[in-house]
Structure formats: structure tokens, C-alpha cells
Amino acid sequence: MATAHPQPASVVVAGAGIVGSAAAYFLARRGLTVTVLDALAPAAEASGAADGAVSVASKRPGPLMRAALQGIALYRRLAGLDPDPETGLQGDDAPLAGLFHPRSTFIVAASPAERAVLEAHAAALAQAGVAVAAIEPPAIKARFPALSAAACLVIEVRGDGHAIGYQVVRQLLAAARVPVLRGCPVTRLDIDAAGGRIRAVETPRGRIAADAFVFATGNGTAPLFGLQAVLTPRKGQLLITERDLALSRAMPGSIMSGRYLLSKGSQTRALDAGGEQASISAARGFGLVVDPLRTGQFLIGGTREDHGDKRETDLAAVSRILSDAVALVPGLAGVRLLRGFAGARTAVRDGLPLVGPLPGLANGFLATGFEGDGICLGPVTGAALADLVCGTAPALDLAPFAPSRFAELQAAA
């Protein structure tokens, strides 16, 4: 039977992606002795192969949208842009200063079907309290000069931002000042079944004991907890171009095609409205995002492919992404592609992440399955994990994300 253990002194955080790094940061701030271990290295998986949209724009209405709003608010505080509500101090403890950049996201409809999806989505965002503004032709040209004349409706989502995942990971771990064991995968859990507790994790470097354990192991979670039927690696291909400062100045924020909402399932009921074009896209999950980076380069993506082989980008996907991008931002035709890369998100069968206590194990906590939202949700999830470990109520409502909703979950003891 699980027994409570309210005051742990030591904690092992398995997984040094953005979620594990944020958990380590908040746990270290509370004075716990934290050891981080990673099968590979910090940000070696999804957190180092992502676009960095810290954004509510594409979130499905409900718990993910609410979590994203809290996630953005926390980024603002960690970047020193807003005061801490508890202390009233601003910039006093700001590990992400200079790494989080506020900006709008512009969702663009270029067909009547996309327009219908976008109108429904904008209404949902407004209902959740997000500041949105509709821009129609001819105002589109003045507000967003880089966009094609095909754009028939643009929704500006205000209050979003951008942060590069691997920079956030590096900074949170540096601020946490905790040891990070690289090349150190958890292979098994040593469980005291009678006491309902984890005694230690086993790794090729030996057994590591602690009072509490956080598993933020991304796509490595399924074999550890029997979640192969629940978690799916979802590959995404992304492209980076050379710099074009003039074009960058003609883009006041990142753009997302209406079709991206479909590829992400943000407006599932509107899927049928996408017609033939949407179903062709759904086959490989093409959904366009064009992000003007602070360097003057453009990050363009991407795909959603249900497998985890991220060793290659393929010509068919790259050409399709580029032609979609040029159709929406014609100026990109004159900008050279520098490189392409791929990463694998962790998708969950029901579309919501798994964050919370491990059933039956009083000192074990899980956080995975953030699909395309983990850069946005990483810090707020890390803060919630620190609360859980320390026995305090998290500000984030974790009820919809409870790992216990999946009966398959069992630890690899």
C-alpha cells in the first residue's frame, strides 16, 4: 500500500529535456538535493529539435489551452518581464532573462474551408480570454506585408512568445546547479511493493537511491511503464533558411496556416470541413508554420508522422513544406534553405499529456506526452512537479492529465 512521505530531502529526475530540467530547477530552489540523469544528454531529444513557439494559438480549447496560458505567464516571470505574484519582485530571480521573446502568432486562412476552421478557433480562443484580432483584406497587406494575396483571413493571437528549447534547458540546469549524469538511462525501478514506494532506479552506472523520483523521459517512458499502446513517437521535420532581414521585417510574428490547426487536431470537429486538401495533408500531417527567428533566418515546418525514426528528412516532405511556405510567404522563394532536421514528439492516445503521481507509488511522479506543446508547457509542468514532490498543491490543474487514467500503466520493476 502507498504511504505518504511529505518531506523528501533527495530526488532523482530522470530525463533532461525541458520538463525534467524545469522540475530540477524548481526542486533545487526548494532546497532538495537533486540528481538529474539522462539516457543521452540534456536536450538530446525533442527539446533540442523543436520550434520554440510558446503559444496558446494552436491549443485545443480545454485543459491544454488553460495550461498554455499559465505556461506563458510563467515564462514571462522567469524572463523577468512580469513581477512574481508572491514576492512582487520583478527580475529578481529570472533564469530565462533574454531567452523568452514575446510576440504575436498570426493564423492564416487561405481558403474558405480554412476560414471556417479559423473562425471557430478564434471564437474558442476569445472565449478563453485570449486577446485575438481578426484582420481582413486589404488590411492584411498593411499589417503583414510578407503574406500572399491568397490570405483571406488572419487572426492575430496576442501575448504569445518564442524560446529555443535547448537554450532553456541549458539555462535551467545551470541555474539549478545540480549534477547531471549523461549517458545514464534508467533501465528498471527497484520497488518496495509492500511499502508502495520506489527505493531506487537502476542504471548501467549502478543503482541510484533517493526519497522521490520524477520521470520526464519523453519517448523513453513507454518501455519503463508499459505504455507502448498509449504513447507514440511523432516525427516532425523542420527546415532552417539563410538570413533575410528585409523579409523578416515584413513579418511581425510567426505564421501558422489554418491547416496547421487541423494537423494538430486543435479543431477536430472542423476536420471534415477541410475537404480533399485536408485529408491529403492528414496523411503525413503537413501543417505550415513559418517562424521569423531573431537571427533573421526562418524556421519552417513541418510534419506529424507517427513513428520515431528521426535520422532523416526526406525530399517529398521538404519540397512540400517549401512549396506551402512560398505559397503563403512568396518572398521565401528567394531565400536559400540551409538545413533540415527532425525530432520526435511524444504523442498520447487521448491527446493530453501524462503529469502526476504514479499510481500505487507514493514517491514516484510522471511527466510525459507533451506532443507539440512541451516547450510551452515545460516550465509550468516543472513547477507543478516540484509542488507534487513537496506535497503542496500545484497551481496547474493536473486532474485532466492524471497518469492513472490509463490502466496499462505499470512500472518496469
Ligand X SMILES: Cc1cc2nc3c(=O)[nH]c(=O)nc-3n(C[C@H](O)[C@H](O)[C@H](O)COP(=O)(O)OP(=O)(O)OC[C@H]3O[C@@H](n4cnc5c(N)ncnc54)[C@H](O)[C@@H]3O)c2cc1C
Contact residues for ligand X (CB under 6 A)? 14-20, 37-40, 44-47, 49-53, 165, 185-186, 216-218, 220, 224, 236, 238, 301-302, 343-345, 368, 370-376, 378
399 burial type by CB count under 10 A (0-12 exposed, 13-18 middle, 19+ buried): exposed
Nearer Cβ to ligand X (113/352): 352
Nearer Cβ to ligand X (220/274): 220
CB of 194 to ligand X, least distance (A): 25
Closest CA to 295 of 232, 248, 343, 339: 248
Rounded CA-CA distance 202/347 in Å is: 26
Nearer Cβ to ligand X (41/128): 41
CB of 15 to ligand X, least distance (A): 3
* Exposure string over 234-255, b if 16+ CB within 10 A, otherwise e: bbbbbbbbeebeebbeebbbbb
Nearer Cβ to ligand X (140/238): 238
CB of 16 to ligand X, least distance (A): 5
> Is the preceding omega at residue 302 within 30 degrees of 0, hence cis?
yes
Nearer Cβ to ligand X (244/291): 291
CB of 165 to ligand X, least distance (A): 6
Which residue number has the CB closest to ligand X? 220
CB of 96 to ligand X, least distance (A): 14
Rounded CA-CA distance 17/241 in Å is: 25
CB of 254 to ligand X, least distance (A): 9
Which set of grid coordinates corresponds to residue 144?
503583414
The 8 Å CB, 24+ separation contacts for 92-98 are 93/29, 95/25, 95/171, 95/172, 95/174, 95/175, 96/163, 96/168, 96/171, 96/172, 96/379
Rounded CA-CA distance 21/173 in Å is: 6
CB of 104 to ligand X, least distance (A): 15
CB of 286 to ligand X, least distance (A): 13
Rounded CA-CA distance 196/371 in Å is: 30
Strands laid side by side in the 337-348 sheet: 132-135, 153-157, 104-109, 253-257, 289-292, 298-301, 231-241, 337-348
Nearer Cβ to ligand X (17/258): 17
Nearer Cβ to ligand X (76/345): 345
Nearer Cβ to ligand X (187/277): 187
Which amino acid, residue 378? G
